[in-house]
Chains A and B, each alone.
Chain A
Amino acid sequence: AQTVTQSQPEMSVQEAETVTLSCTYDTSESDYYLFWYKQPPSRQMILVIRQEAYKQQNATENRFSVNFQKAAKSFSLKISDSQLGDAAMYFCAYKSGGGGADGLTFGKGTHLIIQP
């Protein structure tokens, strides 16, 4: 079974600075997808970014980018120019590839605090 580990229960960053959230995973599969979801106090789960394992290029979405190291099974999220609205719980998630409707396996989450 796949596992996802987020070793930082909580991170704090000053507004406008850059922060990196860590995620590692364990799998024997070669085809899979990795995601970062954001859960603000409203508890809505919001997709931040997606990475396909077969793509070497790191995904980027505006101020959000990932550092995907397949051999090291590492998938970190970098948030640039942090804003107050970025304050939330961030979950790293894994999904098997192969075309099935497999469920996501989540890490325990990192609580991100933005200091004004």
Chain B
Amino acid sequence: AAGVIQSPRHLIKEKRETATLKCYPIPRHDTVYWYQQGPGQDPQFLISFYEKMQSDKGSIPDRFSAQQFSDYHSELNMSSLELGDSALYFCASSLDEKTQYFGPGTRLLVL
């Protein structure tokens, strides 16, 4: 079965640079969620989109923004990167807003 696709899988950036993470949900899934998982931490919810509209907002920094496009893929834009932004970023998708299926994650390292 098709799964959530995230790209890139690994990303290395310098402080103060920008990064864009992409997420392609499972086909026919209309809801996308973004999470951040720091080393040794549980995932923290950032933001979600349903039918291209922002639905719920968690602990997303003002330096981050996201959107969902007409083909339901989503992008997380991160600016003025800080060392503390180094983490695993997950995208998840759902069809019925009950169960979220996670992608493999993007490992971001900020130097």
On whether the beta carbons of A102 and B42 are closer than 8 Å, the reply is no
Bin the interface of chain B by size. 20 to 34
> Which residues does chain A contribute within 8 Å of B58, judged by CB atoms?
103
Q: Secondary structure at chain B's binding surface: helix, strand, loop or mixed?
A: strand
On whether the beta carbons of B101 and A47 are closer than 8 Å, the reply is yes
Apart from A47-B99, A99-B97, A103-B58, 11 more pairs, CB < 8 Å: A33-B98, A33-B99, A43-B37, A44-B102, A45-B102, A45-B105, A50-B99, A100-B56, A101-B94, A104-B45, A106-B43
Which residue on chain A has the smallest CB distance to residue B34?
A: A103
Q: Which of B37, B48, B104, B105 contacts A101 (CB 8 A)?
A: B48
Number of chain A residues close to chain B: CB under 8 A: 24
> Which residues does chain B contribute within 8 Å of A91, judged by CB atoms?
42-43
Taking CB atoms and an 8 Å cut-off, the chain A residues in 89-116 that contact chain B are: 91, 95, 99-109
Interchain Cβ contacts under 8 Å between A and B, 20 examples: A33-B98, A44-B104, A45-B102, A47-B99, A47-B102, A52-B98, A99-B97, A100-B50, A100-B56, A101-B31, A101-B48, A101-B56, A102-B55, A103-B35, A104-B33, A104-B35, A104-B43, A104-B100, A106-B42, A109-B42
